[in-house]
Structure 1
Amino acid sequence: MNSAVIVVHGGGASCISKDRKERVRQGIVKAATVGYNILKEGGSAVDAVEGAVVVLEDDAEFNAGHGSVLNENGEVEMDASIMNGKDLSAGAVSAVRCVANPIKLARLVMEKTHHCFLTDQGAAKFAADNGIPAIPGEQLVTERNKKRLEKEKHEKCAQVGVTLISSLSLFLSLLTRSLGTVGAVAVDCRGNVAYATSTGGIVNKMPGRVGDTPCIGSGGYADNDIGAISTTGHGESILKVNLARLTLFHVEQGKTLEEAAEASLGYMKSKVKGVGGVIVVNKAGDWAVKWTSASMPWAAAKDGKLHSGIDLSDTSVTDLP
């Protein structure tokens, strides 16, 4: 039997304030522990990644579910996707507004429809038809994200009239901050892999904007013969290079998981100046975590050990309870 492994991430970011770091660390560790326990009890990789992401969607510290950032109208619009590496079945949703856990809806799309992707009103009707309760949109709006939107709007207004060079510098700085997405990858005891990714998107985005998260091959990918990956970062950049599938292409070409992640992230940074991060596993139980943003909360559980970190110099290993 294979060794069960799960890796989770809480999104790439420019910095995480000191007062939030411990809460973020606790959230990411809880998600990994929940997912790992599902695997240890004989659950599938799909069960594990969904369970881990639900924990993060329920935690307002992360940009997904209850912690989702706001669009320019002050509303929450969420995206999510999930994929089973055993048969390449996949499900995704975008522009979801009044659902607590978009990843659960994405899994239902995968398992109860002949489609891979539902959006907006169609996704909402499908959720209602399948017993997923609609919640008031304001329940997903946090005070912290209201303030983030106000700050973003203020900074955007201050940019009117700046030079092209200043605009370019500003664009590059935007790529390196507030890049939160949550995700998980896992391999179960039967050697099946899966991924799940969920996000609230980008602060002050246009209504209807969709990033990489629900797009199979960009926000994630899973194939038992190669591995499973979940991505985070600037969605438009990730879409342009198909970051998830690009990374696994490098694995197919013989690179290790770490080499493949480094190559694809490096390509995205040099080609479109985009930054982000990836978590990857394969059916042998190998795993890797890489990012080019300033930080990325992550945790990995394997063989009774929990590895976790936030910054490049911040990695710890403890025994799982």
Structure 2
Amino acid sequence: MYLDAAMIESKTLAWGGVVAVRGLSHPISVARKIMEEKPRLLASEGAERFARDHGFQMCKPTDLIDYEQRQHFEKQEAVIDRPATVGCVALDANGILVAGTSTGGVANQPPGRVGDSALVGCGLYADGQLGACSTTGDGESIIPVVLAKTAVDLLSGDRHPDEAAQMASEIFKQKVTGEAGCILLDPQGRVGWAHNSQGMAVAYITSAMDKPAVFTRKESELYSQKDLLVSRSN
């Protein structure tokens, strides 16, 4: 199991990332620490050495294989190639935007393979004037489209994050084949997301909400909003 992770903040564009690492329990925490130092991107044994030197929790690489994957492997069955990426975007009380992305890659990936998740502009991006984005999907297709940066740039002109995310998804489909999704947050705290896959699990909460909104497909959110409008009109 090879892991990639990265984080970026909008005020100074400080960022940090690790790629092709094994034996790190929380690679995103290591990426956060690297933000404070240079170089910004550490790979493989160098990243693992950095983590050990800074007291981060280490583990056996086999500990990162979940039960279901292990069962398929032991039965010599094909490993399920399901999404293994977790991304987040956040806005704090000082107006600073942050994006973070962490992944276990794809099933049966070759040793040392690096996807989009830890690459600034591809798997994540943040701009204090526009917004922050994290992506998921087929890294080999996301990278040439520079999907996270593309989505953030589309926030210009006070465009709503939902519209920008959908536009970025359309650009992705026009230029490459594959599946991808993105989550977006702007300096006003507005949320947006889109995907061209069958589903994408998303949860978000704002200061005006008393509990998170949770969805597995964009259509579910649209139906929920429609029902809310109907109930208010009644």
Q: What is the TM-score of this pair, normalised by structure 2?
A: 0.87
Q: State how far apart, in whole Å, the 1-side matches of 2:58 and 2:95 are.
A: 36
1:304 equivalent to 2:229? Answer no
Match of 1:218 in 2: 122
Structure 2, unaligned stretches of length 5 or more? 226-234
Cα 1:138–1:295 shift into 2, 3 Å: same
**What displacement does 1:304 show?**
2.8
| More displaced stretch, 210-219 vs 259-268 | 259-268
Match of 1:137 among 45, 58, 61: 61
Q: Give 3-state SS (helix, strand or coil) of 1:314's partner.
A: helix
Retained in 2: the 8 A contact 1:81–1:107? yes
**What displacement does 1:313 show?**
3.8
Match of 1:101 in 2: 26
Q: Deviations over 1:90-121 (max 9, x none)?
A: 0000111001100001011111x222100101
**What displacement does 1:202 show?**
0.5
Q: Give 3-state SS (helix, strand or coil) of 1:135's partner.
A: coil
Runs of 4+ in 1 over 6 A off after TM superposition: none
**What displacement does 1:135 show?**
1.3
Cα 1:237–1:253 shift into 2, 3 Å: farther
Letter of the structure 2 residue corresponding to residue 152 of structure 1: A
Q: State how far apart, in whole Å, the 2-side matches of 1:180 and 1:289 are.
A: 18
Cα 1:85–1:148 shift into 2, 3 Å: farther
| More displaced stretch, 132-141 vs 78-87 | 132-141
Letter of the structure 2 residue corresponding to residue 137 of structure 1: P
Retained in 1: the 8 A contact 2:127–2:152? no
Match of 2:78 in 1: 152
Q: State how far apart, in whole Å, the 2-side matches of 1:109 and 1:151 are.
A: 38
Cα 1:312–1:225 shift into 2, 3 Å: closer
**What displacement does 1:148 show?**
5.1
Letter of the structure 2 residue corresponding to residue 77 of structure 1: Y
**What displacement does 1:248 show?**
1.2
Retained in 2: the 8 A contact 1:265–1:275? no
Match of 1:271 among 175, 179, 196: 175
Match of 1:241 among 145, 150, 170: 145
Retained in 2: the 8 A contact 1:96–1:120? yes
**What displacement does 1:255 show?**
3.3
Match of 1:126 in 2: 50
Letter of the structure 2 residue corresponding to residue 280 of structure 1: L
**What displacement does 1:270 show?**
2.0
| More displaced stretch, 140-149 vs 263-272 | 140-149
Q: State how far apart, in whole Å, the 2-side matches of 1:125 and 1:88 are.
A: 25
Cα 1:223–1:118 shift into 2, 3 Å: same
Q: Give 3-state SS (helix, strand or coil) of 2:109's partner.
A: coil
Q: Which has the higher helix share?
A: 1
Superposed, 1:1-321 pairs within 5 Å as: 76-111=1-36, 113-147=37-71, 150-152=76-78, 178-252=82-156, 255-302=159-206, 303-305=208-210, 306-315=212-221
Letter of the structure 1 residue corresponding to residue 215 of structure 2: G
Q: Deviations over 1:140-176 (max 9, x none)?
A: 12221234554437x9xxxxxxxxxxxxxxxxxxxxx
Cα 1:256–1:219 shift into 2, 3 Å: same
Q: State how far apart, in whole Å, the 2-side matches of 1:205 and 1:108 are.
A: 27
Q: Deviations over 1:250-287 (max 9, x none)?
A: 11255331222111111111211122111110111111
Structure 1, unaligned stretches of length 5 or more? 1-75, 156-176
Retained in 1: the 8 A contact 2:166–2:193? no
Q: How many residue pairs are counted as aligned between the two chains?
A: 219
Retained in 2: the 8 A contact 1:148–1:203? no
Letter of the structure 1 residue corresponding to residue 192 of structure 2: A
Letter of the structure 1 residue corresponding to residue 6 of structure 2: S
Match of 1:53 in 2: none
Q: What is the TM-score of this pair, normalised by structure 1?
A: 0.65
Which of structures 1 and 2 has the larger relative contact order (alpha carbons within 8 angstroms, sep 6+)? Answer: 1
Q: State how far apart, in whole Å, the 2-side matches of 1:210 and 1:253 are.
A: 34
